[in-house]
Amino acid sequence: MGLVTGACFAASGHQVVCIDMDAAKIALLHQGKLPIYEPGLDRMIVRSVEEGRLDFSTEYAAGIGDAEVVFVTVGTPMAGQDGRTDLTYVLNAVADVAACMGDHAVIVIKSTVPVGTGDEIARKIRLLRSELDCAVVSNPEFLREGAAIADFMQPDRIVIGAEEAAARDVVVKLYRTMVGQDVPIVCTGRRTAELIKYAANAYLVAKISFINEMADLCESIEADVEDVALGIGLDHRIGSAFLKPGPGYGGSCFPKDTQALLVTAEAHGRHLRIVEAAATVNNARRHDMVRKIADACGGTVDGKMLAVLGLTFKPGTDDLRESPAVAIVHLLVAEGARIRAFDPAAMPRLGDLAGEVTLAETAYGCVQDADALVILTDWPEFAGLDLLRIRKSLRQPVVVDLRNVFAPKQVAEAGLFYTSIGRMPVRGSEARWSAAAE
């Protein structure tokens, strides 16, 4: 989020310094390389650096002293299993910023922080530098990984939560240099802005869990969830986005932010039943998916070699955080499966997962002599795979597609047995496991 914010404001003509304590990251950026995978970001950064508008530093003093606006974009991980948010990074960053910031600067909190954190930060700065005239503004971010630049430059809306009109106007003016008048800017109080971020994520999460439950029902009543999603999504009151069924949501935001919202609500004596149900459905889903895979493999995955395509929590990123694919792989291994995996972007980042799976260099290499193919992330290139070639490579012609990458008819025509999400297989291509071929 920090890099995207810096790069986009620099591209809009502003002078930007991105600060990070991690010297290795800053060194990488100075070489024109990115520590993350985000389409289009490298070109944007290189251009702004060449044109002298963007720089990187590990020194707070280097960028903060003269800054009119300071964006805080550091991580806010979960503090423990109970869903509380760890604010250490934000509070430390704010203390370091406060130590060297000039008068009249505006601190903009972009990190996702529980409601009331902006008030806490303002108090902290007053304690540290009582002489300073400085405002704290909440400006939550709605970037999706993989589409971050477009989300930043052409957002559906911008939310600015401020307690002081002058600070609010500074941030509104700054954004208007980047986005046209057609982009709504929602100006509100600081606490409300903080809640908008959590409410948006909770709503999207509820949509995903809702369609996943509909998918389960479709499988029992022989209906098609893709058509259900289309049929309800065309109602403009509902909208078609975030109605894609799958193995459940993951990533660095949705699971963490829903838990944090539940914790905030509980702390204020409120029990958010809809949000809680959405999270419960999602947590159960990975186990349901393992059952589904086992069913397609004759009732158990024990001793079977499964080819897994896709490990990231969604396509277009190398991020494995809270990835349903990774959780499912761990569960499959615990049930005795051997896994050979391929992912177009995540391979260098596998960490401890690398010890549990064998890696393949290509999708076709992954399926070679595997007992079944399991698709866990909907990378667009998987849709273009040659199904006949896959059938010839597999030991058993079984495909479990947890992202509905293929059309049931297409898979049946290739002679494969097919299990997907919320759709009936074409007659004759229902999952069938041959014990004799094992």
Q: Does 71 bind ligand UDX (CB under 6 A)?
A: no
- Gap between the Cα atoms of 103 and 233, Å rounded: 50
Q: Does 253 bind ligand UDX (CB under 6 A)?
A: yes
Confirm or deny that 233 is annotated as ligand binding: no
Minimum gap (Å) between residue 30 Cβ and ligand UDX: 27
Q: Does 145 bind ligand UDX (CB under 6 A)?
A: yes
| Torsion angle, alpha carbons of 365, 366, 367, 368, to 10 | 40
Q: Does 318 bind ligand UDX (CB under 6 A)?
A: no
Among 78, 169, 183, 242, binds ligand UDX (CB under 6 A): 242
Among 56, 152, 198, 313, binds ligand UDX (CB under 6 A): 313
Residue type, 358: T
3-state percent helix, strand, coil for the chain, nearest multiple of 5: 45, 10, 40
Q: Does 143 bind ligand UDX (CB under 6 A)?
A: yes
Look-up of token digits 């893709």: 226
Catalytic residue (choose from 134, 253, 297, 366): 253
Q: Does 422 bind ligand UDX (CB under 6 A)?
A: no
Which of 300, 307, 311, 371 is closest to 335 using CA atoms? 300
Minimum gap (Å) between residue 208 Cβ and ligand UDX: 5
**Three-class DSSP category at 112:** coil
Cite the DSSP H helix spans in 39-157: 41-50, 60-64, 88-100, 117-128, 148-153
253 catalytic per annotation: yes
- Gap between the Cα atoms of 412 and 414, Å rounded: 5
Query: 252 or 419, CB closer to ligand UDX?
Result: 252
Q: Does 392 bind ligand UDX (CB under 6 A)?
A: no
Q: Does 141 bind ligand UDX (CB under 6 A)?
A: yes
Confirm or deny that 25 is annotated as ligand binding: yes
Confirm if 81 and 68 have CB atoms less than 8 A apart: no
Query: 63 or 250, CB closer to ligand UDX?
Result: 250
Among 56, 71, 210, 249, binds ligand UDX (CB under 6 A): 249
Instruction: Pick the stretch among 249-257, 284-292, 336-344, 409-417 that binds ligand UDX (CB under 6 A).
Output: 249-257
Query: 17 or 229, CB closer to ligand UDX?
Result: 229
Query: 95 or 350, CB closer to ligand UDX?
Result: 350
Q: Does 343 bind ligand UDX (CB under 6 A)?
A: no
For 199, the enclosing helix (H) or strand (E) is helix 190-221
Confirm or deny that 110 is annotated as ligand binding: no
Confirm or deny that 112 is annotated as ligand binding: yes
Confirm or deny that 300 is annotated as ligand binding: no
Residue type, 430: E
The most distant pair of C-alpha atoms in the chain lies apart, rounded to whole Å, by 80
Confirm or deny that 409 is annotated as ligand binding: no
- Tell me the sheet residues that pair with 307: 340, 373
Confirm or deny that 145 is annotated as ligand binding: yes
Among 37, 142, 152, 417, binds ligand UDX (CB under 6 A): 142
Look-up of token digits 């499964």: 306
Query: Assign residue 283 a region: left if phi > 0, alpha if psi is -120 to 50, beta otherwise?
Result: alpha
Cα–Cα distances in angstroms (integers) from residue 44 to residues 10, 47, 224, in the given order = 9, 5, 42
- Gap between the Cα atoms of 357 and 319, Å rounded: 17
Query: 382 or 417, CB closer to ligand UDX?
Result: 382
- Gap between the Cα atoms of 300 and 314, Å rounded: 27
Minimum gap (Å) between residue 219 Cβ and ligand UDX: 17
Annotated binding-site members for substrate? 142-145, 197, 242-246, 250, 314
Q: Looking at the annotation, which residues are catalytic? A: 253
Binding site for ligand UDX (CB under 6 A): 141-145, 204, 208, 242-244, 246, 249-251, 253-254, 313-314
